[in-house]
Amino acid sequence: MNVSTLEKLLDTSKRKDLFDEILNKLQDLDGTNGFTCELHKISEGTIPVVYFNKQHNTNEVQSLKIFIGAQHNEYNGLFGILNVLDLLKNEEISHRPIINKRQILAFFPIMNPYGFLNPRKDNKSGYFLKNGSNLNRFWRRTFVPGFEGNEADLIDHPIPEHAILLKKLIKPYWDNEKIAIYIIDFHETSLLERFPKELSMNLSPYYKFDHWLKESIVENVMRLYDIKSFREPLFFKCNNSADHNHLNLSFKQVEKVREKLFEFMAENRRKLPFYLVHSKKSKEPCTQLSIRVLEKLGNILWKTAIAVHDHEFHDHGCLVRMNDVAKRENLFCVELENQKQFFDLFEEKMKSTADSEYFQNKLETVNKTIELIKETIIETIRLP
């Protein structure tokens, strides 16, 4: 990303211009060098879809690999996808292995056009759909008709057109279960920055662990600094009805973990935190993906012993959980979580305007996230 693009992203009055620039860039790909671009108009705007090596005869297809960006106010996926499309256009990513393996690549760079164009305070800077609902809660109901699961809070909302569109576009390939379908959904979370700070300030034998990521951060530090646990399990509930866990270590060990957490944060300052979150069915390809990405980008990613996590911690309708309830074989779903860049767009705009160093640091970090997405897509293409 360059300076001009980041300035437009931070300026709500220029979002429409940026959106149109992106659509024009994608349309210019149509019909060139293996690309097909489609613009699908729904009531909330235009959803662009770009295919590479699209085949209509499903008997000629071995895999369909789908990459989804900008469901929320997150743009790592969008600009990472644009980067990969440029590389494919210029053949800096070889076309031959994609074609020889009979793969189709499908890119959905902006899944929530309304959120992109209307980043307001009351919709978390573009997080929600027009009716205030969260697109990432509807995927199980979309692909498993009649399934409600734990989506009671959204049951009164119709399935969004966005989700219906994706299902319609991939249906010919979905119906042929010999075709392997991979869905990689790019997300960001502010928790990757907030939780290490919170733990370093408050960790004690009495600390209440109420989120999987807090537990994973502690477990990661213990592995990296070889802190052994002599009690099992590492995390336990004080009673069966508790909605939190406690760390099953001695006072001295907890203090050691806290000390090393400070060291970990210092060593990884300015590095990019990330997790790949998988369904039960997708653990193996997700693990392969994490290993390959870490090998290639160890210089910009935080040091980690744990880069993957099962999505069992939330029972909601995201694409990853859809994978576990869908009966279709040969289906693999993964979410990439990394640092949220625009949680409060208006605060980011104020800080970036007031402090040129803050703006440059933001630009540097955003470009690291783009590099992470780029390599994740490339390594997904290389999966069998």
pLDDT mean for each 10 residues of the chain (384 residues): 96 96 98 96 98 95 97 95 97 94 97 97 94 92 78 75 97 96 95 92 93 91 91 88 90 94 91 91 92 93 87 77 90 93 94 95 95 97 92
Q: Using alpha carbons only, give the angle 280, 283, 289 rounded to the nearest 5 degrees.
A: 150
Q: Can you give the pLDDT at residue 72? A: 92
Q: Pairing between strand 331-339 and 274-278? A: antiparallel
pTM over 0.85: yes
> In the 8-state DSSP scheme, what is residue 198?
H
Q: Can you give the pLDDT at residue 156? A: 78
Total domains in the chain come to: 2
Q: Can you give the pLDDT at residue 229? A: 85
Q: Can you give the pLDDT at residue 278? A: 92
Strand order in the sheet with 180-189: 35-42, 45-52, 103-108, 63-68, 180-189, 331-339, 274-278, 308-310
Tokens 């189709």 -> residue: 104
The residue ranges of DSSP E strands in 80-201, in sequence order, are: 103-108, 180-189
160 shares its domain with 249? no
Residues 6+ apart with CB under 8 A from 160: 44, 129, 133, 135, 138
Report how far residue 177's alpha carbon sits from residue 153's, in angstroms, rounded to the nearest whole number: 32
107 shares its domain with 23? yes
Report how far residue 248's alpha carbon sits from residue 82's, in angstroms, rounded to the nearest whole number: 46
Q: Can you give the pLDDT at residue 38? A: 98
Residue 311 CA from chain centroid, whole number: 13
Q: Can you give the pLDDT at residue 150? A: 59
109 shares its domain with 203? no
Of 216, 246, 267, the residue at which a domain comes to its end is 267
58 shares its domain with 162? yes
> In the 8-state DSSP scheme, what is residue 101?
T
353 shares its domain with 299? yes
**Structural domain of 263:** 194-267
CA-based nearest residue to 48, from 65, 32, 73, 70? 70
Q: What SS3 state is found at 217? A: helix
Structure tokens at 181: 């379908």
66 shares its domain with 145? yes
Q: Can you give the pLDDT at residue 152? A: 56
359 shares its domain with 319? yes
Q: Can you give the pLDDT at residue 313? A: 64
Of 209, 233, 267, the residue at which a domain comes to its end is 267
Of 207, 233, 267, the residue at which a domain comes to its end is 267
Over residues 65-121, the pLDDT tens digits come to 999 999 999 999 999 999 999 999 999 999 999 999 999 999 999 999 999 999 999
Over residues 243-297, the pLDDT tens digits come to 899 999 999 999 999 999 999 999 998 899 999 999 888 999 999 999 999 999 9
Report how far residue 301's alpha carbon sits from residue 274's, in angstroms, rounded to the nearest whole number: 7
66 shares its domain with 96? yes
Tokens 């979002």 -> residue: 15
Phi-psi region of 125 (alpha: psi -120 to 50; beta: other; left: phi over 0): left
104 shares its domain with 135? yes
